[in-house]
Structure 1
Amino acid sequence: MLEIQNLTGGYAPQHPVIFDIDFRLESGEMVGLIGLNGAGKSTTIKHILGYLQPHSGSILFRGKSTEKDPTHFRREVAYIAETPYLYPELTLEEHLELTAMAYNLDAGWRDRMEELLEEFQMTKRRRWYPGTFSKGMRQKVMILCALLVRPSLLIVDEPFVGLDPLATHSLLEQLTAMKREGCAILLSTHVLATAEKHADRFILLKEGRIVLSGNLDDMRKQAGLSGASLDELFVFTAKGERP
């Protein structure tokens, strides 16, 4: 569904921060994007979303360049950002209504909205404004908007920060259900135990380059660490220390 080919880029042409990033994301799978702060995870995501223009390489969605056909791409992708971006003058319910309008969702979106509000314990807060929300509640608004869309491709950047355990459980259940329905999910997170349990494959970045990729067995072979956990592989790639 999504194919990244030899992507090099960054915030200034003379200073790339990611180099030759190359991976695929198929329908019905979750890929974990893992790395230290500054490894290039968010930069990779911003290039995929079109916020940054590649220095070289290409990004294809269903075989078509996202740069040449951005409208088609944006209709089918949803994004949960690490930092919530909300409109202070809109209530929670109005954020969801705006999302439905932007994606031209069919009439069933209101039933979906009610289910999500109930699932994430936000029904009583539907007419609240973002200024009254805690960090976790603001994150829930972003999550609800993305899940309302039922996208073909979901990109998630550190979604668990600030969430209570029940909301985390609900989000993981929703992601699992979306996978079963064929959604492709790119998940960037530092919560390695959760990623190891729920992701199908992984991409480990270091200093803007892929150092390990594949499922756990693939990466164990690449690192020469039989039986290593994702956490141990992460420490090995980050520090060069064997468990």
Structure 2
Amino acid sequence: MLQVENLSGGYARSHPVIHNISFEVQPSEMVGLIGLNGAGKSTTIKNILGLLHPHQGTVQINGKTLEQDPTDFRSKISYIPEIPQFYEELTLDEHLQLTTKAYRLDPQVAKQRKEDLLEAFRMKKARKWFPGTFSKGMQQKIMIMSAFLVQPSVLIIDEPFVGLDPLAIQALLDLLQSGKNQGMAILMSTHILEMAEKYCDRFLLLHEGHIQLHGSLTEMRKQANRPHATLEDLFIETAGSDT
């Protein structure tokens, strides 16, 4: 589904942030992207989305790059950013209507999904409110609901749990599990390692722009020669080392 090959990039060619990164995310799979602040997680995500142009390497969804077919590429991917992005002049309802039109969703299907999402995140009373009046957690819910309204083939998530209350976190986890069951490929960047260990199928542990460990927890334990290590143990040991 999502294939990243030999990806290098950053904000300046003279100072790449990520170096020769290769991985894939298959349908019905959640891959955890973990690492310290500055390890290259957000840069990797921005290169996948096309917000940054790679210095080298390719990103493909179903065998096609963004350059080969921009419309098809973008139609198959949704993104939940760490910092909510919204239009001050649009209500919550209007944000979801805009997503419906932008992705050319079937109006009746989108309407039912919208009602289900508003119910799941307890946002029905806020549907006519403007997001500038929302709390950080409520603003994040706009991003989450918009992404799941699309039901994309590939979902990219950057620190989605920041600001969410426990009920909203569980609602998001339920949606992620449901998406996996329906064939969604999910790449999730998070610092909540206990949650990642519980819900992710595989992991990419980045350090200073390089993949240091990758695979299932069992596979990464073998790579690190730590047969009983938790994900947090591996993270601390890898992040504390020099490349």
TM-score in terms of structure 1 length:
0.98
Q: Tell me the CA shift for residue 141 of structure 1.
A: 0.6
1:84 corresponds to: 84
Q: Is the 8 A contact 1:203 1:214 kept in 2?
A: yes
Distance 2:3 2:218 in 1: 22
Distance 2:92 2:65 in 1: 34
Q: Once superposed, which parts of structure 1, at least 4 consecutive aligned residues long, lie more than 2 Å away?
A: none
1:10 corresponds to: 10
Distance 1:70 1:204 in 2: 29
Q: Tell me the CA shift for residue 234 of structure 1.
A: 0.3
Could you tell me which runs of 5 or more consecutive residues in structure 1 were left unpaired when the two chains were aligned: none
* CA deviation string 1:38-80 (max 9, x = no partner): 0000000000000011111111111112222221110010000
Could you tell me which runs of 5 or more consecutive residues in structure 2 were left unpaired when the two chains were aligned: none
1:95 corresponds to: 95
2:120 corresponds to: 119
Distance 1:204 1:160 in 2: 19
Distance 1:79 1:26 in 2: 17
1:138-157 matches, cutoff 5 A: 138-157=139-158
State the identity %: 59
The DSSP-based 3-state class of the residue aligned with 1:226 is coil
1:18-37 matches, cutoff 5 A: 18-37=18-37
Give the aligned residue type for 1:101.
K
Q: Tell me the CA shift for residue 112 of structure 1.
A: 0.8
The DSSP-based 3-state class of the residue aligned with 1:8 is strand
Distance 1:124 1:156 in 2: 26
Distance 2:199 2:70 in 1: 30
1:1-243 matches, cutoff 5 A: 1-106=1-106, 107-240=108-241
Distance 1:33 1:225 in 2: 20
Q: Is the 8 A contact 1:28 1:180 kept in 2?
A: yes
Q: Is the 8 A contact 1:50 1:67 kept in 2?
A: no
Distance 2:60 2:175 in 1: 26
Q: Is the 8 A contact 1:91 1:129 kept in 2?
A: yes
CA-atom RMSD in angstroms: 1.0
Distance 1:150 1:49 in 2: 17
The DSSP-based 3-state class of the residue aligned with 2:122 is coil
